[in-house]
Amino acid sequence: MKIVVINSSGNVGKTTLSKLLFMPRIKNCHLLNVAYNYNCKDFIKVISETLIYENCIIDVNSNGTSFFFDGLSKYTDFIDSIDYFFVPTVPSNKQQHDSITTILTLLDLGVQKTKIKILLNQFDCNHSINDQFFTILNHSINKLLLLNEQSNQFIIESSESFVFFSHHEIINNNENYKVLLSNTNDPLKREILSHKYTMKIVANSINKELDNVFNKIKLSIGNIDNE
């Protein structure tokens, strides 16, 4: 499985979702970061490195999108090697306009519409999807990508906790903080243990949410994790 996570806009969660949503759930997956300072010769390296691995996620930096689009335009056969293009977007109006531009560029380059998926990131559960993603849901690409169908709505709720830790490292920590807290009366130790316990509770909640999103993606596109 070869996946590109791309958006010409910054601050939409490309790297975060590459690392926390896809990497832990796709077996033996390689992460390739495409930076802004790449040149045309580097794209051949991107192609080669992508094809080496059975499973690869290409995380395209927002400043690297022009380079990446230029590479796809020149080496059009590489498009066939990519299984899906995921475009994360957020409620901000500017980011949604940039997301639309990104999608239209992919289509112009010859990417099949069925290969393009939108990730509705930083969703606030206190407001409706239509209110938060009005710009993109009311654009013509809505019908093209069937965004009104729930099976194509991949929603990740907003969580400040994403920026504080790699939650999979916390989840895989087998420390029993409940027991450790009960075995000490030291205020400093309790404060430290309480913080770690809180982070593990939050991390488990985030992990379950991302499991649900990933499983929904699997239902939509098929055998993404090569099980």
What is the rounded average pLDDT for all residues in the chain?
89
Q: Is residue 144 part of a domain?
A: yes
- Would you state the pLDDT for residue 12? 94
> The CATH number of the domain where 71 resides is what?
3.40.50.300
For 190, the enclosing helix (H) or strand (E) is helix 187-221
- Would you state the pLDDT for residue 75? 94
Report, as an integer, the average pLDDT of 19-33.
93
Q: Flag whether pLDDT at 162 surpasses 90.
A: no
Q: Is residue 99 part of a domain?
A: yes
Domain span including residue 14: 2-162
What is the percent of the chain with per-residue pLDDT over 70, rounded to a whole number? 90
Q: Is residue 192 part of a domain?
A: no
Q: Flag whether pLDDT at 27 surpasses 80.
A: yes
- Would you state the pLDDT for residue 148? 87
Cα separation of 132 and 130, whole Å? Answer: 6
Residue showing tokens 């606030």: 124
- Would you state the pLDDT for residue 38? 67
pLDDT level of residue 29 (50, 70, 90 thresholds): very high
Q: What tokens were used for 207?
A: 């992990």
Report, as an integer, the average pLDDT of 1-7.
96
Most confident of 38-42, 114-118, 122-126, 168-172: 114-118
pTM: 0.88
- Would you state the pLDDT for residue 150? 87
Q: Is residue 173 part of a domain?
A: no
Q: Is residue 195 part of a domain?
A: no
Q: Flag whether pLDDT at 227 surpasses 60.
A: no
Of 100, 119, 89, 155, which is closest to residue 3 (Cα–Cα)?
119
Q: Is residue 201 part of a domain?
A: no
Buried b (16+ CB within 10 A) or exposed e, 121-131: bbbeeeeebee
Q: Is residue 132 part of a domain?
A: yes
Q: Is residue 175 part of a domain?
A: no
For 210, the enclosing helix (H) or strand (E) is helix 187-221
Please check whether residue 200 is in contact with residue 177, taking contact to mean a CB–CB distance below 8 angstroms: yes
For 21, 166, 188, 214, the CA distances from 83, given in Å and listed in that order, are: 17, 27, 50, 16
The total domain count for the chain is 1
